[in-house]
Amino acid sequence: MCHQRVVKMRGNCGVTVEVVMTDEGKKRKANEIAENADDSVEEAEAPAQQVEVVDLTAESDDDDGVAPSEDAAELARRKADWEAKAAVKRERLGQLEQQAAADLVKSAMQTVGAKGVQKLLEQHLAREEAAKKARAAEEVKGKARRAEEAKSIAAAATKAADEAAKEVTEAARMVTNEGVAGTPAGDGGHPNAMGIGENERKANG
């Protein structure tokens, strides 16, 4: 007696194949039929998928590579995400550069050793001291220059005052000479000298 079994096989794309099994020998045949059915369904769906991809690509090309379903808000969000990622990368790069510089300094210190570091420190302090002395010398020169300028200004002021005093003296002398030149001649050169002498003679006579 041959046992019959009904085998239902469901493919990946939702196709169900029903096979009546009469013996074990036909089981392999059923498997082959199911695989062929799956292949046929996949081949049938492949052109549709390809057409769909092409259509989406065409729509994207019409809108500068942006699908029509993407609005301005979505573009703004993506742009913000890109900028945030770029900022993170720049910050990370800066940290790496600082770390590299620190590592370089550390390596240099290890290379020159403690004595080398001490020598570099002494050289740095010597340069600082030399710069301080140079600034002090410049300040002294500046003070001397300002003092010399003040002295010159004072001398010029004194000379101007002397000249002004001479002018005043000369003016006073000229006024005095003009007053003497305008006095009438007489006894003693005084305007009333003649009248006084006359009166004295009358009293004696």
Please choose, from the candidates 47, 36, 48, 29, the residue with its C-alpha nearest in 3D space to the C-alpha of residue 11.
36
**Average pLDDT in the 34-56 region?**
50
pLDDT band per the 50, 70, 90 thresholds, residue 27: low
What are the structure tokens assigned to 162, written together?
A: 């002397």
What are the structure tokens assigned to 131, written together?
A: 């710069």
pLDDT band per the 50, 70, 90 thresholds, residue 93: confident
- Does residue 77 or residue 6 have the better pLDDT? 77
- Identify the pLDDT of residue 20: 45
- Identify the pLDDT of residue 106: 74
Report the Cα 149 to chain-centroid distance in Å: 42
Domain boundaries, given as residue ranges, for the chain: 103-175
- Identify the pLDDT of residue 17: 44
Q: Is the pTM of this model over 0.85?
A: no
- Identify the pLDDT of residue 14: 46
Q: Is the pLDDT of residue 132 over 70?
A: yes
- Residues 176-191: pLDDT tens digits? 877 665 555 444 445 4
